[in-house]
Chains A and B, each alone.
Chain A
Amino acid sequence: MAEVSLEGEQRVFMTGNEVVAWAAVAAKVDIIYGYPITPQNEIMHYWTRLAPKYGKKFLQTEDEISAGFATLGGVLAGRKAFTASAGPGNVLMQESASMAEMMRLPIVYVIQQRGGPSTATVIYAQQEVTLTTFGGNGEGHRIVYSTATHQEIFDYTIKAFNMAWTYRFPTFILGDGYQAKMREPLTMYNPEERGMELVKPEPIIGDTTPGKKFKHLRNTYNTEDELYDVVMSNQRDWEAMAPQVIEWDEMGCDDADVILLTHGIVSRAAKGAYDQLRAEGKKVGFFRPITLRPFPDEQLKKAIKNAKKLFIAESAYGQLVKLVQNAIYGSTIEIVPMLRPGVGITTEELVDEYNKL
């Protein structure tokens, strides 16, 4: 791998998985716990090459359950720690994610979606949206960033650690196999040189200072009322946090008849379609949630106010559609879905579908 300096700014050309490893170095991550699964493997490959040079650590665990829980251990010890997975591995990671939600542990997961259900393909999909936003036996108390470009993978991986340690909710970077494996240019930088503060981690337990006050952390409760109070307190914190972390992108929605709604890498095809159709004089808009959880509900409602149709395209069978329907409840706008589970979506296909409307 090419050596990159994080001093100053540097233009680089690399795969998304490599970008994650560099972003973790830039975010001052201490340790990764991981288990191999395609298409996220190279995150570990690059990290294990970088780690000794930067005084970082790595542990390859026996499975994704262990990777998730060992990462929670790292976080408890007050270290910036993360793990990465995909597909069936993401399923197993949800057990640790639910403990993180209950105990408010700032764990970061990088998910590079592959096809589903089951083993399916190792290539690409957007079929882990429901799992990543609402997985586990809980209420979805988490942050999920859906990235579209390598620049975003770098920016949002750094941001994910800041958000996790600020709000103490598990935070996901939701990418996919295309983003993981393709190469493209981006600018890498030292976030502190850009004036961005990196939130410092601190021991949650395991502070070995003599005479410190001990702490007891649990996720088990004796009564319904006790649990209710905990979950509602987390819910209130999550709702208070939501306006601070919600991110979205939109173009031309004010005068649009049809709004193209996509997320992740599909939004790049949608941007292409938007540019092309606008150039042809079509009244088309573009909307993309960057945070899938919390979802930009109010922003989307405002964006579709004057539109007649909401054209939703995703590489899954309606997982984004469900989030959108929930977000815009009460709106009578017509939803036109383009659902391609496990298959990529191009600008040309979006334009063709648009022209059939």
Chain B
Amino acid sequence: MQEVKKDNILQPPMPSCWNEETKPHKFCPGCGHGIILKALGEAIDELGIKDKLVYGCDIGCSLLAWDFFAVDTVQTHHGRTTPVITGIKRANPEVIGVAYMGDGGGYAIGSQHLFNAAVRNEKITVILCNNCNYGMTGGQMAPTTLPGMKTETTPYGRDTEQTGQPTKGPEMVAAVAPEGAYVARGTIANVRQLKGFLKKALENQIAGNGFSFVEALASCPTNWRTNAKQTWEFVEKDMPQYFKIGELRTPQGKEG
């Protein structure tokens, strides 16, 4: 990142792999996507891999990032970013492939792709934004909606008798991915740590070790209908009680 001045006013620092023309970005105020993508952008910059990167984004709010980076990008269908990036990487292993998606794309409609890509140890990096709901479609229950949490399709709170427990994605991936995989869960409440996880997930792909997966806990104040304080409390305190932060798998086999 470098200091940028426009009309003698200091501009917010941006990763150099960001596409400046599309900033400010299109996410809602308070949304976690921008923070995850800033951490990702910084990781890409630090590794100097912009020219080799193909960034794929899913359907849902993640599609708003189709012109987010100044790197080759393909926006795909709901849940299908994992197979598209898999297909690119298989065809040209020189590419560094990143599949970016939400919790619906990764854990519901595209769960078979995530699961099997992990089982096959595809040499790609999947980054998943967990904000406990379907944001783009107006706040329905997601696989990650917490027990008792109100959404448009659980207006009286998520009843786990009826809908099961929230999906623990990194735990699932860690359970099925072979040796060499990297799996972690970070949060926008700790950007420094999140960036470290994302960087390791990219490095793991570059080293050709195996599948790399990072879930990032993120905010959605628009659909949660929370103010700033409530939003931050939910991200920082409530979500990690269910979704434990840390590294679940590293290529050395160490538990985080």
Contacts and interface: CB of A to CB of B under 8 A. Distances in A.
Given A66-B113, A70-B87, A77-B87, A219 B92 contact: no
Contacts of A62: 112-113, 115-116
A255 B40 CA distance: 71
A77 B84 contact: no
A69 B80 contact: yes
Contacts of B86: 59, 66, 70, 73
Nearest to A67: B83
Interface stretch (B6-14, B70-78, B150-158, B235-243): B70-78
Interface stretch (A210-218, A226-234, A281-289): A210-218
Contacts of A220: 59, 63, 66, 75
A61 B89 CA distance: 14
B75 to A, nearest CB: 4
A212 B95 CA distance: 14
Given A62-B112, A66-B116, A72 B73 contact: no
A30 B91 contact: yes
Interface in B201-243: none
A131 interface: no
A275 interface: no
Interface core residue of A70, A72, A211 (most chain B CB under 10 Å): A70
Contacts of B245: none
Contacts of A63: 112
26 contacts: A33-B87, A57-B91, A59-B90, A63-B112, A66-B86, A66-B112, A69-B84, A70-B86, A72-B76, A73-B84, A73-B90, A74-B87, A76-B88, A78-B91, A78-B92, A206-B72, A207-B72, A214-B69, A214-B71, A214-B72, A215-B72, A215-B73, A216-B75, A217-B66, A218-B67, A219-B77
Interface of A: 30-31, 33, 57, 59, 61-63, 65-67, 69-79, 81, 95-96, 99, 103, 203, 205-212, 214-220
